[in-house]
Amino acid sequence: MEKLIITACICGAEVTKEQNPAVPYTVEEIAREAKAAYDAGAALIHLHVREDDGTPTQSKERFDVCIRAIKEVCPDAIVQVSTGGAVGMTNDERLQPLLLNPEMATLDCGTCNFGGDEIFVNTENMIIDFVERMNERNIKPEIEVFDKGMIDMAKRLGRKGYIKYPMHFDFVMGVNGGISGEPRDLEFMVGSIPEGSTWTVAGVGRNQFPMAVMGIIMGGHVRVGFEDNVYLEKGVPAASNGELVAKVVRLAKELGREIATPDEARRILGLSRG
Ligand code: KMH
Ligand code: ZN
C-alpha cells in the first residue's frame, strides 16, 4: 500500500469561531493552523480564506497573502486552493485563486443541497469551464464528489477529454444533501472510480474519524480539519487542526500505514511541479 496522504482542510467557508474558537480567519491564524497540521503530518493543505471578520472570500489577493504566509512556515506543503468557495458565490469569484497557479485546486463535480435552503451549484458547463482553466495552467484537479452521480459526471468529462487521467477524487461523505458516511457508501464510491485513480475521503461531523479509518485500511487517503469537523472526540472541541491530524497519524500507525511527506504525496498524486 502507498503511504498515506493526509490533507488538512483547516478553515472552510462555513465553519465559525462560535463553533470552535480555533477556527482561523486572519492570515496569521491561517498560517498558524496550517503549520499545526503540517507539523502533525499533513502533506496537503486544502485552502479557503476569510476576511478578518470571518467572511468567506475568494479574493486572489487574500489567497496570495495567505499562501505566502503558509509557505513561510511549511515551505514544501502542497497547497490546494478551493474553487468551491462558499454557497452563492459567482463563478468568477470562485475561479480567482487559479490565477495564482497553485499546484492543485478543487473541481466540484455536481450540484447538491447543502442544508436548509442552501444549494451548492456546479452545472456541467461550469465544471467544463473550471477544469479547462485548470488544464491551461497545469493545475491538478481534486475532483470533489458529494454523491455518486458526481463520479459519473467526472467519468463522462474524462471520456470527452476535459478531465485528464489519472484522476484524483475526494469523497465528501455526510454532507446534509449528499451521500451519507456509511462504510458501504464509501465502498460504492471507491468501486465506481476509473482504474488507476487515487482517492481521499473526508467525513463530515461525526463521520470524520470512522471515514478516516476506512480510508487508511482501504488504501485511500484521508482529509480531516475544521472545515469538516471541529471535535477531537464527542463533546471535546479540538484545540487545533494539528490535533485532528495527529489523531489520524496515531490511527494510521496502529493500523500499519506510514505517512507520506509532501514530496511523496506529489509522486503519488502525479504532480508535475513543486
Ligand atoms: N464550501 C462549500 C460550499 C470546495 O472546497 O471545493 C464547497 C467546498 C468545496 O468547500
Ligand atoms: Zn472546501
At 24, the amino acid letter reads: P
Ligand nearest to the CA of 108: 1
| Residue nearest (by alpha carbon) to ligand 1 atom 7 | 84
| The pLDDT value given to residue 273 | 62
Atom of ligand 1 nearest to the CA of 56: 1
Ligand 1 site residues (CB inside 6 A) read: 13-14, 82-84, 86-87, 106, 108, 114, 120, 144
DSSP labels for 192-208? TSPTT-EEEEEE-GGGH
Residue 118 in grid coordinates: 442552501
| Residue nearest (by alpha carbon) to ligand 1 atom 8 | 84
Per-residue pLDDT in tens (0 to 9) along the chain, 274 residues: 999 999 999 999 999 999 999 999 999 999 999 999 999 999 999 999 999 999 999 999 999 999 999 999 999 999 999 999 999 999 999 999 999 999 999 999 999 999 999 999 999 999 999 999 999 999 999 999 999 999 999 999 999 999 999 999 999 999 999 999 999 999 999 999 999 999 999 999 999 999 999 999 999 999 999 999 999 999 999 999 999 999 999 999 999 999 999 999 999 999 986 4
% helix, strand, coil for the chain, step of 5 = 40, 20, 40
Report the separation in Å between the CA atom of 8 and the middle of ligand 1, taken as the mean of its atom positions: 14
Residues 6+ apart with CB under 8 A from 30: 10, 11, 24, 47, 49, 50, 66, 69, 70
Report the separation in Å between the CA atom of 130 and the middle of ligand 1, taken as the mean of its atom positions: 14
- Rounded distance, CA 175 to CA 51, Å? 25
